[in-house]
Structure 1
Amino acid sequence: MKHYEQDKDFMKHVGHLIDHPRFQKLDGIVQHHHSTRLEHSINVAYTSYKIAKKLGWDAKATARGGLLHDMFYYDWRDTKFTKGHAWTHPRIAVRNARKITTLNKKEEDIILKHMWGATIAPPRYKEGYIVTMVDKYWAVKEAATPFRKIIRKGKLFHRRLLNDRH
């Protein structure tokens, strides 16, 4: 069982969405070179949810908006999609999300504005800022996976070398 699956409140809010066949299609799509779009979306949703819950903000809307923020099915690195992707994919994600659930205004805004920084309009709700920042955090973390492995391997090698000397 994955760590987020053990969180009953989180799963109450988004478990049915994670299990939905349209959402499961994201599992076959590479997101940041070393993760699928499904993994990325769950990472963003769960991390954002925990932050919102800790702050006493709307954790349910944060989890749902975070989960559905990248619900699109094309490869954004393909040159025909690159131009305008930051503006276009949130709108596609909202349309796709509406096919599997009813969104409230806050959830829609979280999805539509999660690219703030690359786009002009900032989130209308404080929960949107959480998802925006957590999305960037996970994008960097996922893209840096091979570098983290190299660094970890180097530290282990260095530790072994020091232990062998003693």
Structure 2
Amino acid sequence: MGAGAALRRGDIRLEHFKTDLTAGDRRSQAAQWAADETWVRCRKYENDPEYMECVKDILAHPVFNSMDQYIQHGNTTCKTHCIQVSYLGYRICRRYGGNWRSAARAGLLHDLFLYDWHTHARETGEHFHGFTHPRRALENACLHFQLTDEEQNIILRHMWPLTPVPPSSAAGFAIVWADKFCGGAETLGRLRHLRLLRMLQPARH
């Protein structure tokens, strides 16, 4: 089975990402995968036992699951976004090097700020969510989970270069890239959905 068909089925095992694909093909497949949340809703990531060994305690935790009540980008919840970032960061590290366990765990927790950032400024007067939420996420994560120094650094530095200090590890850079890639795909997916709805609306006379 080709990688494209596997992605359409939501089957995201590592072996479907062939080394003979061009960089453009890999980017196209990754964009398709990040914009389609079906694999998250169907919990296809559970088919990867090595990934699950890294993160099963976090995925089962009620605080992590509470992120499903907050929208992150478009129609994507914080929980879904974090799973996508976590798995993509994990897979990048498996392929290119880096601590994939740290990427998987920190990716799940990088946005554990636990509020609706769309209304946060109006409700609290804090207008710098992009700059402040990594530290809030880290504080919340440390309350509920045991994290290594590398995992803490990944969470704290994941907004680089918006925040000036870069992460200190390859896994940290994997999560920086995965976060921006998934966020962009989620936002563009929402825009495409809205454009399609407009096209389907009956013409006004």
TM-score category (smaller protein) = 0.7 to 0.9
User: Per-residue CA shift, 1:62-115, capped at 9, x if unaligned?
Assistant: 101111000011121222466221221111111111122111111011000000
Structure-2 residue corresponding to 1:29: 70
Partner residue of 2:191 out of 142, 147, 153: 147
Q: Is the 8 A contact 2:98 2:169 kept in 1?
A: no
Deviation at residue 129 of structure 1 after TM alignment: 0.8
Question: What secondary structure does 1:31 align onto?
Answer: strand
Which amino acid is 1:106 matched to? E
Q: Which runs of 5+ in 1 are unaligned?
A: 154-166
Deviation at residue 151 of structure 1 after TM alignment: 7.5
Structure-2 residue corresponding to 1:121: 165
Which amino acid is 1:132 matched to? V
Q: Aligned-pair RMSD on alpha carbons? A: 1.8
Indicate whether 1:83 and 2:131 are aligned.
no
User: Aligned runs of 1:45-60 on 2, under 5 Å?
Assistant: 45-60=86-101
Q: How has the CA–CA distance of structure 1 residues 2 and 72 changed in structure 2, closer, same or farther, with 3 Å as cutoff?
A: same
Aligned residues: 153
Structure-2 residue corresponding to 1:132: 176
Q: Is the 8 A contact 2:99 2:170 kept in 1?
A: no
TM-score, scaled to structure 2: 0.69
Which amino acid is 2:165 matched to? A
TM-score, scaled to structure 1: 0.85
Q: Is the 8 A contact 2:113 2:133 kept in 1?
A: yes
Q: Distance in 1 between matches of 2:153 and 2:140?
A: 14
User: Per-residue CA shift, 1:39-75, capped at 9, x if unaligned?
Assistant: 0000000010011011232100010111100001112
Structure-2 residue corresponding to 1:17: 58
Which amino acid is 2:180 matched to? K
Deviation at residue 143 of structure 1 after TM alignment: 1.1
Q: Is the 8 A contact 1:76 1:82 kept in 2?
A: no
Deviation at residue 6 of structure 1 after TM alignment: 0.5
Structure-2 residue corresponding to 1:41: 82
Question: What secondary structure does 2:190 align onto?
Answer: helix
Q: Distance in 1 between matches of 2:71 and 2:143?
A: 22
Which amino acid is 2:72 matched to? Q
Deviation at residue 144 of structure 1 after TM alignment: 1.4
Q: Which runs of 5+ in 2 are unaligned?
A: 1-41, 198-205
